[in-house]
Amino acid sequence: MRLIDYLDKGAARDPAAPCLTMGDATLSYAEVQQLSCRVARALWRDGILPGEKVAVLSSNDATAFACVFGLSRAAAVWCPINPRNEAAENRYVLDAFDCTCLIFHSAYAPLVAQLRAQLPRLKVLVCLDQPQAFAPALAAWLESIPGDPLEQAVADDLVMIAGTGGTTGKPKGVMLSGRNLEAMSALTLMGYPFKGRPVYLALAPLTHAAGVLCLPMMALGGEIVIMPRPDLGEFLRLVERHRVTHTFLPSTLIYMLLQHPALAGARLDSLQCFWYGAAPMSAARLEEALQRIGPVMAQLFGQTEAPMMVSMMPPDDHFNPDGSVARERLASAGRPGPLVQVAIMDPDGRLLPNGESGEIVVRGSLVMMGYYKDPAATREASRHGWHHTGDIGYLDADGFLYIVDRAKDMIISGGFNVYSTEVEQALMQHPDIQDSAVVGLPDEKWGERVVAVLQLHPGRAVDVEEVKAFAKARIGSVKAPKQVEVWPDLPRSKVGKVLKRDVRATLLARLP
């Protein structure tokens, strides 16, 4: 399956059905199909050959997303560019991924104007909505181009190059094949509830998880409702207005949603599946979500290199057979997907039995082709014949996967391994704490001391000694934080993940 095949499959079910909706405007499947054909023909006219890399730079936008299927129909490779990146990072990505065409929104025209002189490979520039001095608008670029059906032989199975987060240095290009995304889509459709034609609400960036989740929706002829900017009040209104059945939010936005005054009166009965992921979610907040949003919460765990569905926890797995909340399971990441092999490995490459902690490793058709033009990094990530996730975890006797930390975030205090996520889970049970970041700092006595930085719910206050006692009562004195700070907000990545590296750097800079 190519990216375009998901669109064409949905169109075959009902070409007049709504495909992409944003605001009051809707494009039908037939209209998106026709636009994709015109974009493909324009790319060929301008010399973009099969296998060439085409970047799309835009915030969430229906036309920008429709263009993705045009470049797929042209057998080009999609390179989603995160608009929240710094200019230097986007210049690096466009150059390192060998992009020869850039389709961008006018909001980013100043950035493109700044970068284009440094990117000699870029031979085609197109602005989605307004003409620029250096690029035509999409409408003019497509003028006189017919929307007749067409086919183009693909160069190979590479369909997408996605940049890693860049939190540990320069981003690497993750090469994803049609087979990878087909495995992800199959896992989605077989592992989560789908009744009738889905309506999927995309608030999170389409350059990340929210974008590839559109593919299984399209295979069923579903409607994609796109939010151009995050607004949780509007999110709740759109769920009711469009009778949304499926959506995805990172954990941090779900925390904010639970605090939103409109949640109590929102009509959410259309929801079948509310995915959460991208970062560990507090078990206490998850239980609250099950009560206030409904029995529709669904976890997914993956990474760019093995997209989305390494392990899965559908709504039913959040409950015991008698209907009570399965509290002991809420801290897990669900069970490994049925088309994915997941194991726990020690540093010497030995696979560990259930209950023992080690690095989570994965293999199967979900795993990437490799890192673009980086064979050394590819070899490092695929040692012993498994893809190494960099996450520390264990499998329990029932086959549920528990992620206890990122390997690089583990703290060794007094000779004991302290997993920062375990401390964060304990802190998040406190009613005044909205989010937390736990890191290790050098300590003469302990080697490293456990330090917690807290973000509180609006209008709340805490006593740090009471917080230390609260954690100690739940996880013991070794793991409880020795130092607690309250910050107005925590530093986050472009997709909302807390940047512990930045937290630790700030704290280290204050040391004498």
Domains and CATH numbers, the chain: 3-15+25-176 (3.40.50.12780), 230-406 (3.40.50.12780), 410-510 (3.30.300.30)
How confident is the model over 129-139, as pLDDT tens digits?
999 999 999 99
Tally of CB atoms within 10 A around 361:
23
CA distance 205 to 213: 11
Residue 320 near residue 196 (C-beta atoms within 8 A) = no
Q: How far is the CA of 280 from the CAs of 296, 428, 437, 470, 488, in angstroms?
A: 18, 11, 11, 21, 21
DSSP per-residue letters across 129-166: SS-BTTB-BHHHHTTT----------SSSEEEEEE---
Tokens of residue 196, six digits = 């009738």
> What is the distance between the terminal CA atoms of the chain, rounded to a whole angstrom?
57
**Arithmetic mean of pLDDT over the chain:** 91
Q: How far is the CA of 99 from the CAs of 52, 96, 142, 366, in angstroms?
A: 7, 8, 20, 25
258-286: b (≥16 Cβ within 10 Å) or e: beeeebeebebeebbbbbbbbbbbbbbbb
How confident is the model over 172-202, as pLDDT tens digits?
999 999 999 999 999 999 999 999 999 999 9
Q: Is 55 helix (H, G, I), strand (E, B) or coil?
A: strand
How confident is the model over 402-420, as pLDDT tens digits?
988 776 777 878 667 787 8
How confident is the model over 38-67, as pLDDT tens digits?
999 999 999 999 999 999 999 999 999 999
What pLDDT does 493 receive?
A: 75
The answer to pTM > 0.85 is no
β strands within 4-133, DSSP E: 18-22, 25-28, 53-57, 77-81, 99-104, 124-127
Model confidence at 321: pLDDT above 50: yes
Tally of CB atoms within 10 A around 253:
18
Residue 104 near residue 58 (C-beta atoms within 8 A) = yes
Largest CA distance in the chain: 74
How confident is the model over 332-383, as pLDDT tens digits?
999 999 999 999 999 999 999 999 999 999 999 999 999 999 999 999 999 9
Residues 6+ apart with CB under 8 A from 167: 493, 497, 499, 501
pLDDT mean over 467-478 = 88
Quick one: what percent of the chain has pLDDT higher than 70? 97
Residue 388 near residue 382 (C-beta atoms within 8 A) = yes
Residue 283 near residue 276 (C-beta atoms within 8 A) = no
Model confidence at 152: pLDDT above 80: no
